[in-house]
Structure 1
Amino acid sequence: MFRSLKPYQIVVDVVVAVLFFLVAWPIETLVVARTGLEPSFGLAIPFVGAGAVVAVFAAALALRRLSPGLALAVAWAGAIVQMGLGRPPSIADVAIFGVLYATAAYGSSRVYWAGFGSALVGALVITLYLTVGPVFVQGGLSWQNLPLALVMLVAAAFALGLSWTIGALVRTAVRARENRQAQERAEAEAVVEQERVRIARDMHDVVAHSLAVVIAQADGARYAAASDPAVATAALGTISTTARSALADVRLLLTQLRHSQADGPQPRLADLEGLYAQVRAAGADLRIDVDPTPPGEPPAGVQLAVYRILQEALTNALRHGEGGPVDVRLAWHPDRVDLEVGNPAPAAAVPATGGHGVIGMRERAQLAGGTLTAAAEGGRFAVRASLPIGTAS
């Protein structure tokens, strides 16, 4: 029933209502005194009757934003008191326009339409009161004063309806602004979420691959330490190099988290040799077949997608493979690049629906406009992707 207003808004409304009362009360008394109309129902002093009418309308004015529905009811009560005292329309009725505006601008759905109905009914009541009542036209409604009554009806409906319409326009503008702001917030949150997903995907690719290489090298160094110290030393060197590279990539990703504008350098096709070297150093029997070769310089987005998909697929081969050869095939066609990574894998190591790595590879392929499948095939696990490349530069 009551809206949530800030303290200064309540203070402003109360001050406006008090000022309205102080200005309208003397004017109301003066108008009644000059017309010679005495109040009905035993009130002998016009000053007292005018104060009562103005006080009710001032109360409605004070409540118009806090509770538009209650303010409308109080305004109707003021109008009834005014007509009951036989008083003519005066400056006190200005409060009605403010109340109708508030019902359309701030009221609930019911109050909104109650204000609209009050504007129409109020116009009719004013017309009947001025034509049949004791104020201007005597003798009741007749064919002679019917044109005047119609003019009064149209004028009253226009004035009251205009106040309500202005409030409705303000209500529409406020809601449009709120919807626009909500849409902007949703779009901003979507962009942030997409960036988080991208960074999380990059973090997974970097950390998972690097840790797989480090674990494989550490296991190899542990077994070879007793029999061949040179192999252990080489494995430790590979661990150091891989860890430093991973640390640099993680720092870059953390920089992107702090500063969304800093994209930083991204892996390209030239970095694939370093990736292959890491996998071979981890003990994998890696066989590479690139046919045909890239006809030019593929787009940077395609190069990044190819690198990350190969990185994740080779990481899975290190983690879940049985030690057999890992085959990598790349075919750079004029309009697309096809890639395939296959390695032996036991059935128990193949997830039924794909883990985070498979999901990340599929997302990268879809973002590049391509497709990716990952499934077990006769004791081997194969990852196949096809990415459009457009026109190479």
Structure 2
Amino acid sequence: MSTTSALPRQPRRLGPRGTRWFDRGVAIALTGASVLVGVAAGAPEWALLGLLQCAPLWWRRRFPVAVYAAVAAASALQVLLVDMPLFSQLAYPVAVYAAARHATAVAGAVALGVGLVASVTAAWDWTSPYVDPADYPLEQVVSYATTIGVIVVAAWALGTLGRTRSAYVDALRAHAEQVARDAEQRAELAASDERARIAREMHDVVAHGLSVMVVQADGARYAAAKDPDVATAALGTIATTGRESLGEMRRLLGLLRSEETGTRPQPGLDDLAGLVEQARADGLPLRVHLPDPLPTVPTGTGLVVYRVLQEALTNVRRHAGPVREVEVVVDEEPGGLVVRVTDDGRGAAAGSADSGRPGGGLGLVGMRERVRAAGGTLVTGPRGGGGFEVVARVPV
């Protein structure tokens, strides 16, 4: 069964054009009937009152307060001219309904109050010529006033209910539009965050892969003349690194096309040993301290730790210059993991995206955004006595 068929059928409603013709029809029908009754009875004052009381209903939706005032004034004139109810007085509850439905709550309350007073006045006016004051006319007045008052209250209640329902529907519609706008904004923010994440991933992959390839290419060029075997090994490392970087770039680009890429999962803590071995093969003098056994952490946390270490080693290759030792420490601490990478290279002379030094790129900025998104902190800067340090704390 389709979703559409399961929904309740909505009631049919008149459109703007339909409501205009409905108002005109009510006004024409009541006015015509009232005038015909007056003409048939040979009472021109009845026809005049019918015209004054019913004709304003033509504009009851556009000018509800003015229409009610006109109908109420014509009804008050009836007290002076005719001492009996007329057919045209059907216009009065219609005017009360219009004031309560299409005007404000205050206008509706005023119409209700005036209508209740008018019901007592009309009851007294209609019964006084026919009842002897000694025969307890109060009973007839109360009976007539109650009947007219119930009609007025019913018209006011229906109009008030229609106005409040319309306001409720408008509020629901405004809320739905706001929810749609919020959902669209959240989707745009999510897309922006995803683009930023992919940009960071692309930066880490390209920067790491190219730095390894440049170092190996330089080593192969220097060793080609003296030791071809070393050059061959270096070229093999370049090819392997290039293929791995190209594979990761394809996976990241696949994220832009579909949610299911069919490629290998993101790197994590289990890949740290391979990253360190590759850095050693590139010629970095590493002293490494990894937890044994590796802790079990969420996939996102493992990816952050891997990327921080990858970017830190890439920055050592690119900016530290000649180094005697690079220390890599990944350790557990209460509530998370700490990653510390220190070197004894150029230190303050190394370019930093945070300090704005020449040679600084997006590496440290990307690292800080990545760690901050995971709820952690990143501290980077030159060490006292020389060298540079990167310390990241990532909560688990």
1:326 paired residue number = 326
Task: Say which of 348, 356, 366 aligns to 2:362.
Answer: 356
Deviations 1:176-232 (A, max 9, x none): 333433443344444333333322222221122112222333344445555555544
Task: Say which of 343, 368, 386 aligns to 2:393.
Answer: 386
What is the TM-score normalised by the length of structure 2? 0.71
1:119 paired residue number = 108
Aligned ranges 1:1-393 → 2 under 5 Å: 12-22=15-25, 24-31=27-34, 33-34=36-37, 52-57=55-60, 60=61, 71=62, 74-86=63-75, 88-90=88-90, 94=94, 97=97, 101=101, 115-132=104-121, 137-138=124-125, 148=145, 151=149, 155=154, 157-225=156-224, 229-260=228-259, 264-290=264-290, 292-294=291-293, 297-324=296-323, 325-332=325-332, 336-343=336-343, 344-351=345-352, 353=354, 356-378=362-384, 379-389=386-396
Q: State the Cα distance separating 1:238 from its structure 2 match.
A: 2.3
Instruction: For 1:22, give the aligned amino acid.
Output: G
Summarize the Cα distance change of 1:243–1:140 in structure 2 as closer, same or farther, 3 Å threshold.
farther
Deviations 1:26-62 (A, max 9, x none): 244324544769677x98595x6677334323xx3xx
Q: State the Cα distance separating 1:351 from its structure 2 match.
A: 2.5
CA contact (8 A) 2:123 2:142 kept: no
Which has more radius of gyration? 2
Summarize the Cα distance change of 1:275–1:219 in structure 2 as closer, same or farther, 3 Å threshold.
same
Local SS of the residue matching 2:259: coil
Give me the whole-angstrom Cα distance separating, in 2, the residues matched to 1:130 and 1:250: 84
Q: State the Cα distance separating 1:242 from its structure 2 match.
A: 1.4
Summarize the Cα distance change of 1:273–1:353 in structure 2 as closer, same or farther, 3 Å threshold.
same
Deviations 1:216-253 (A, max 9, x none): 33344445555555544433332222121111111111
Give me the whole-angstrom Cα distance separating, in 2, the residues matched to 1:37 and 1:137: 25
1:109 paired residue number = none
Q: Which moved more, 1:244-253 or 1:260-269?
A: 260-269
CA contact (8 A) 2:280 2:286 kept: yes
Local SS of the residue matching 1:258: coil
Local SS of the residue matching 1:340: strand
Q: State the Cα distance separating 1:265 from its structure 2 match.
A: 0.5
Instruction: For 1:13, give the aligned amino acid.
Output: P
Q: Percent identity?
A: 35
Give me the whole-angstrom Cα distance separating, in 2, the residues matched to 1:21 and 1:326: 90
CA contact (8 A) 1:373 1:384 kept: yes
Summarize the Cα distance change of 1:219–1:45 in structure 2 as closer, same or farther, 3 Å threshold.
same
Summarize the Cα distance change of 1:80–1:269 in structure 2 as closer, same or farther, 3 Å threshold.
closer
Summarize the Cα distance change of 1:293–1:280 in structure 2 as closer, same or farther, 3 Å threshold.
same
Give me the whole-angstrom Cα distance separating, in 2, the residues matched to 1:13 and 1:100: 19
Give me the whole-angstrom Cα distance separating, in 2, the residues matched to 1:314 and 1:192: 30
Instruction: For 2:275, give the aligned amino acid.
Output: L
Alignment coverage as a number of residue pairs:
349
CA contact (8 A) 1:97 1:160 kept: yes
Q: Which moved more, 1:81-90 or 1:237-246?
A: 81-90
Summarize the Cα distance change of 1:54–1:295 in structure 2 as closer, same or farther, 3 Å threshold.
closer
CA RMSD, Structure 1 to Structure 2 (Å)? 4.0
Q: State the Cα distance separating 1:317 from its structure 2 match.
A: 0.8
Instruction: For 2:382, give the aligned amino acid.
Output: A
Instruction: For 1:174, give the aligned amino acid.
Output: R
Local SS of the residue matching 1:181: helix
What is the TM-score normalised by the length of structure 1? 0.72
